[in-house]
């Protein structure tokens, strides 16, 4: 089955049709810069432009940078505060003319990585982190998702973790990979003490550079890069539209 997946980020909005049986993109993805301020109507208009570019008339799944309950955005960290309380399902459906289902961006990326990527068939507690404009978190136990976690906002040295350890923070502060790894390691160590996970999976655009920082980390938990890298949000959004669950976990993390 083919679903259009759209990944709404703080700096860019990306989309492509997805084969949800294989997790493969069926066309080259389209990326459009996120409108300044990330207000509801302009963001929804970009989603409509992406759908129109593919002449799309079917269902659309959307990963969105906020906790979502029954389609409603509950918080706004890297987007306009005007999103709070808005039924995003209804807004995107109205703007695209297609049935849309919206989920938390890290959650949907996690679904993709657990079904097709580094977490496939694994048991235990797995934390997937998307490092980009902020830090998104998705926590799975034996393949089951705990939705809408926002542990990118855990305080470290009196500041949100994402203000210190996101990819945007690395670029903003012009950090070397060694200095960035030190900050990320502190954040992962904090997450270890809270959850004692079996595996960290690092996703987002920075995962393409994993060889530059993952070997510098010293936390006890195994850390691996996401296999789907920056496509996980698109693939996971498509899965989320159809309520596709991850496969039952079979293997323990080693």
pLDDT in tens, 139-157: 999 999 999 999 999 999 8
Spell out a b/e string for 26-55, using b for 16 or more CB atoms within 10 Å of the CB, else e.
Answer: eeebbbeebeeebebeebbebbbebbeeee
Q: Is the pLDDT of residue 51 over 50?
A: yes
Question: Dihedrals φ, ψ of 235, to 5°?
Answer: -65, -45
CA-to-CA distance for 200 and 215, rounded, in angstroms? 13
Q: Which of 18, 65, 35 is nearest to 241 (CA)?
A: 18
> CATH assignment of 119-230?
3.30.420.40
pLDDT in tens, 215-250: 999 999 999 999 998 899 999 999 999 875 444 445
pLDDT in tens, 22-38: 999 999 999 999 999 99
119-230 shares the fold of 2-106: yes
Q: CATH assignment of 2-106, given 3.90.1150.10, 3.40.80.10, 3.30.450.20, 3.30.420.40?
A: 3.30.420.40
Q: Which of 1, 20, 2 is nearest to 235 (CA)?
A: 20
What is the per-residue pLDDT for 77? 79
Q: Is the pLDDT of residue 62 over 60?
A: yes
Q: Is the pLDDT of residue 61 over 70?
A: yes
- Which residue(s) pair with 69 in the sheet? 72
Listed by start position, the domains of the chain span 2-106, 119-230
- pTM as predicted: 0.90
Q: Which of 191, 206, 201 is nearest to 126 (CA)?
A: 201
Q: Is 199 helix (H, G, I), strand (E, B) or coil?
A: strand
251 CB neighbour count, 10 Å cutoff: 10
What is the per-residue pLDDT for 242? 84
What is the per-residue pLDDT for 254? 65
Pairing of β 60-64 and β 72-73: unpaired
Per the listing, tokens 């973790």 go with 161
CA-to-CA distance for 230 and 242, rounded, in angstroms? 21
Q: Do 7 and 13 contact (CB within 8 A), yes or no?
A: yes
């Amino acid at each position: 089955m083919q679903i259009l997946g759209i990944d709404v980020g703080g700096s860019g909005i990306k989309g492509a049709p997805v084969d949800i049986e294989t997790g493969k993109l069926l066309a080259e993805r389209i990326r459009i810069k996120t409108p300044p301020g990330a207000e509801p109507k302009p963001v929804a208009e970009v989603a409509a432009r992406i759908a129109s570019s593919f002449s799309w008339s079917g269902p659309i799944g959307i990963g969105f940078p906020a906790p979502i309950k029954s389609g409603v955005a509950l918080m706004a960290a890297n987007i306009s505060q005007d999103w709070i309380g808005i039924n995003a399902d209804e807004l995107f459906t109205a703007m695209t003319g297609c049935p849309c289902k919206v989920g938390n961006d890290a959650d949907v990326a996690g679904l993709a990585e657990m079904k097709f990527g580094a977490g496939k068939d694994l048991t235990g507690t797995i934390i997937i982190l998307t490092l980009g404009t902020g830090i998104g978190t998705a926590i799975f136990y034996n393949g089951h998702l705990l939705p809408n976690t926002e542990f990118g906002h855990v305080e470290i040295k009196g500041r949100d973790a994402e203000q210190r350890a996101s990819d945007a923070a690395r670029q903003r502060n012009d950090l070397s990979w060694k200095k960035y790894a030190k900050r990320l390691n502190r954040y992962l160590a904090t997450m270890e003490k809270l959850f004692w996970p079996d595996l960290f999976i690092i996703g987002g655009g920075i995962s393409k550079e994993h060889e530059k920082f993952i070997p510098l980390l010293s936390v006890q938990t195994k850390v691996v890069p996401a296999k789907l890298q920056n496509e996980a949000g698109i693939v996971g959004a498509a899965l989320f539209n159809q309520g596709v669950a991850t496969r039952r976990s079979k293997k323990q993390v080693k």
